[in-house]
Amino acid sequence: MTTPTPSTPTDPVWFSPAQAAATIGVSRDVLYRAMRRRELPYHKLGTGPRALTRIHRDDLDAWLTAGRVDARR
């Protein structure tokens, strides 16, 4: 995993779960599990089975940072 970098104007701010997973190099299952456990915040747009799920870049970066393990010395 890489350290999150500041976003530029061309970077997306909102990701679908598939986009977020591809961006950080994990499976969608990993993201959905974190969302179910309420470890990763997300937003639902609309209601019912066709509602869209979106993850904000800042929430994704915070989730990655929270999982960081420093190397032992």
Q: What is the pTM of this model?
A: 0.77
Residue 15 pairs with which residues in a beta bridge? 55
Q: Read off the pLDDT of residues 5-61 as tens digits, 9 standing for 90 and up.
A: 665 667 789 999 999 999 999 999 999 999 999 999 999 999 998 999 999 999 999
Provide the 3-class DSSP secondary structure of residue 4.
Answer: coil
> CB–CB of 19/31 below 8 Å?
no
